[in-house]
Structure 1
Amino acid sequence: MDEAAVDAAMREWIEKAVIGLNLCPFAKAVYVKNQVRIVVSRAPHLDGLLEELDRELDFLAAADPAAVDTTLLVHPTLLADFLDFNDFLQIAEAAVGEHGLEGVIQIASFHPRFQFEGTAPDDIGNFTNRAPFPTLHLLRESSIERAVAAFPEAETIFERNIETLRRLGETGWAALWRRGDD
């Protein structure tokens, strides 16, 4: 896939799942204001991806939040195995600390085969964190704090999302991705 196709697939996922199913009640505001930066990595190996993460952490920390509030660092081919992705996530989170950004930026993770601990691989609840490609979502903690303050009972979002997906079911999830001519 070329960069434009990866970007388009990520935007479709944001629009149909993240915003469309309201999996993140905070996403729409920054997305419609074009404050979501999507960076498609072409790093040939994990060291290169880590270097890109370093650049994106520095970029996001320095950027005006009104221009770029959050970054999705996406790699369409590396880390296809979820367990490898999880291992890399630990390195990525350590990089936040190495940049002196603990309490400033945090990382959320999304993966095509995301699986919560203690769930079966096909559990529909896992789809709350399933994206088209392995993705590191770099979030400003100040933005999270503002969003949580504005959203009553933010701690219930996770449970609500799983319930939404259970109601939708696998058939409903698959229907989200069908084109009009299918």
Structure 2
Amino acid sequence: MNAGEGAHAEFAQVIPLTVRWLERAVIGLNLCPFAKSVHVKGQVHYAVTNAEHREDLLADLTTEIEGILAQPPSARDTTLLIAPRAFPDFWDFNAFMPECDRLLKRLKLQGVLQIANFHPQFQFVGTDADEISNYTNRAPYPILHLLREDSIDRAVQAFADPGDIFEKNIETLEALGHSGWATLGLGCPLAETSLPDSPRKP
């Protein structure tokens, strides 16, 4: 199955679980103050890829880049490319991200689009695997998030100090704790994968 095609039975729950994560965590905990508006307006495009290797994932990412540019922001402001089979190890996924940035550079789209990422095992450099701060970027599946720079700029203007968002997210997650996160019911098989005993650094 290529990105954007109808879901195979294996992937039937991928988009519903991703939407639940968006609604309960990203929007519900206000981890991204910009997310609610595009979600309510139906401007979030969800695409699922069966890619397992970087070349295939880059090809599907290219397709989604072309897709978002072909639509006005009012129809497709942002895209979540969900890759259930790709990069089960977070540090491998993290090492892949510079290739995504190079793709934007080759397409002359720096300053037009950004690519963010989420992963069931997301881990900030310098943190322990189980630190609650990592959950700001944890999702049920590896996800590449395409964002329009213009939309980011407009959203950021609504905040006196956008830098405070991350700090507030940490405060929210620390108050919630691991047990509180578990009650959100965001698990999937990938999210249960054991983390390495000694996390690798990119």
Shorter-normalised TM range: over 0.9
Q: TM-score, normalised by structure 1?
A: 0.94
Q: Shift in Å at residue 114 of structure 1? A: 0.3
Cα RMSD (Å): 1.4
> What residue number does 1:4 align with?
12
**Identity in percent:** 52
Q: Return the letter of the residue paired with 2:38.
A: V
Aligned AA for 2:130?
A: D
Deviations 1:112-133 (A, max 9, x none): 0000011000000000000100
How far the C-alpha of 1:38 sits from its partner, in A, is: 0.8
Is 1:107 equivalent to 2:109 in the alignment?
no
Give the Cα separation in 2 of the matches to 1:143 and 1:2: 34
Q: Is the 8 A contact 2:52 2:87 kept in 1?
A: no
Q: Say whether the 8 Å CA contact 2:80–2:144 is kept in structure 1.
A: yes
- CA distance in 2: counterparts of 1:150 and 1:71, whole angstroms: 22
Partners of 2:118 and 2:52 in 1: CA distance: 20
The whole-number CA distance in structure 2 between the counterparts of 1:69 and 1:130 is 22
Aligned to 1:41: 49
Counterpart of 1:76 in structure 2 is: 84
- Look up the SS of the partner of 1:116 in the other structure: coil
Kindly indicate whether residue 134 of structure 2 is the aligned counterpart of residue 126 of structure 1.
Answer: yes
More helix by share: 1
Question: What CA distance in whole angstroms lies between the structure 2 residues aligned with 1:169 and 1:44?
Answer: 33
Structure 2: unaligned runs, 5 residues or longer: 1-8, 187-202
Q: Are the counterparts in 2 of residues 61 and 105 from structure 1 also a CA contact under 8 Å? A: no
Aligned residues between the structures: 179
Aligned residue number for residue 176 of structure 2: 168
Report how far residue 44 of structure 1 moved.
4.2
| CA distance in 2: counterparts of 1:43 and 1:108, whole angstroms | 18
- Contact 2:49–2:83, Cα closer than 8 Å, also in 1: yes
C-alpha separation between the residues in 2 aligned to 1:158 and 1:102? Answer: 24
Secondary structure (helix, strand or coil) at the match of 1:102 reads coil
The answer to whether 1:148 aligns with 2:153 is no
Q: How far off its partner does 1:45 sit?
A: 2.5
> What is the SS of the residue equivalent to 2:47?
strand
Q: How many angstroms does 1:169 deviate by?
A: 0.3
Q: Secondary structure at the match of 1:2?
A: helix
